[in-house]
């Protein structure tokens, strides 16, 4: 009888152990897959999105991007890294949760740091326009420091060819990032008169062009006409304007390229 009892206790213990193991196995979350949308702007080296040593997708250099990475989740969450393709340096990481299936990260890389907090500021008055300015270039004769943005209103008479510049606002000492948000009333033009906002860029704290000695300025117009038009916005709209000078080798062009990258941060 004692032997039967001992056998029963032994079998009960084994069954309990197996049941506990089965419960533990069931507690392990199943493998899932997340579709991560990465979009934004990369102002520097090509970036690789990696999980361990696996490259999930590529974010091209000096361009806007919109790319999808499929991330396998084995735990509650996984971590993916953003690294420079050339140096293999990890410069930021992103946590990816198990749910929802479709996730999105808006990324701005200024060449030094990555932020996923970039936002497009809405105007407070729906009749106004708004924008931030960012001066960026790989022109070797750029002096490399902060700049001042001097915003003016240009009025041009299409019949008499008279023109005038009315100062609006100067945003001072802006480094390699976007300026503060500017909100202005939109301008209207007629057959007789054209009105638009323009911005000039200076070395911070001066009225000097932000370039090194030796730059070829032969194609640059008089200083008052070396500006970038701020256009393309309608009432109620906001922009993130990337401003870059045209150039060829050591010669500056006569104007600037203006690109609104706000779409990728909405």
Tell me the pLDDT tens digit for each residue of 7-62: 444 444 445 545 555 544 455 678 999 999 999 999 999 999 999 999 999 999 98
pLDDT at res. 118: 87
pLDDT at res. 37: 96
CA 41 to chain centre: 4
pLDDT at res. 234: 93
Q: In this predicted model, what pLDDT tens digit does every residue of 207-260 receive, in sequence order?
A: 999 999 999 999 999 989 999 999 889 999 999 999 999 999 999 999 999 999
Q: In this predicted model, what pLDDT tens digit does every residue of 91-139 receive, in sequence order?
A: 999 999 999 999 999 999 988 889 988 889 999 999 999 999 999 999 9
pLDDT at res. 30: 87
Domain 32-115 has CATH 2.40.30: no
Record the tokens describing residue 150, joined without a space: 């001097």
Summarize the confidence of residues 153-169 as an average pLDDT. 95
Give one DSSP letter per residue of the chain, joined into a string: -HHHHHHHHHHHHHHHHHHHHHHHHHHSPPPEEEEEEEEEEE-SS-EEEEETTEEEEEE-TTEEEEEEEEEEE-SSEEEEEEEETTT--EEEEEEEES--SEEEEEEEE-SS-EES----PPPSSTTSEEEEEEE----TTB--S-EEEEEEEEEEETTT--EEEEEEEEEEEE-SS----EEE------SSEEEEEEEEEEETTSSS-SB-TT-B-TT---GGG--EEE-S--TT-EEEEEEEEEEETTEEEEEEEEEE-GGGG-
Summarize the confidence of residues 72-101 as an average pLDDT. 94
pLDDT at res. 240: 97
Domain boundaries, the chain: 32-115, 129-265
pLDDT at res. 126: 97
pLDDT at res. 5: 47
Q: Which has more pLDDT, 231 or 201?
A: 201
């Amino acid at each position: 009888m004692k032997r039967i009892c001992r056998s029963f206790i032994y079998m009960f213990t084994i069954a309990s152990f197996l049941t506990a193991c089965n419960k533990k196995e069931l507690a392990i979350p199943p493998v899932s897959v997340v579709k991560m949308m990465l979009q934004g702007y990369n102002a520097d080296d090509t970036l690789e999105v990696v999980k361990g040593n696996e490259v999930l997708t590529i974010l091209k250099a000096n361009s806007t991007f919109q790319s999808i990475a499929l991330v396998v989740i084995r735990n509650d969450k996984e971590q993916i890294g953003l690294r420079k393709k050339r140096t293999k340096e990890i410069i930021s990481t992103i946590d990816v949760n198990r749910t929802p299936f479709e996730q999105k990260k808006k990324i701005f890389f200024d060449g030094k740091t990555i932020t996923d907090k970039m936002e497009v500021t809405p105007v407070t008055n729906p009749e106004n326009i708004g924008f931030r300015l960012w001066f960026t270039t790989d022109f070797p004769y750029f002096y490399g420091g902060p700049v001042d943005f001097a915003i003016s209103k240009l009025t041009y008479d299409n019949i008499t060819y008279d023109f005038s510049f009315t100062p609006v606002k100067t945003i001072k000492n802006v480094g390699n990032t976007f300026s503060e948000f500017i909100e202005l009333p939109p301008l209207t033009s007629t057959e007789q008169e054209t009105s638009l906002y323009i911005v000039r860029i200076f070395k911070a704290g001066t009225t000097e062009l932000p370039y090194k000695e030796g730059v070829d300025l032969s194609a640059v117009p008089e200083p008052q006409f070396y500006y970038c038009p701020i256009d393309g916005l309608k009432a109620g709209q906001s922009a993130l304007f990337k401003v870059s000078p045209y150039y060829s080798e050591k010669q500056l062009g006569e104007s600037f390229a203006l690109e609104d990258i706000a779409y990728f941060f909405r």
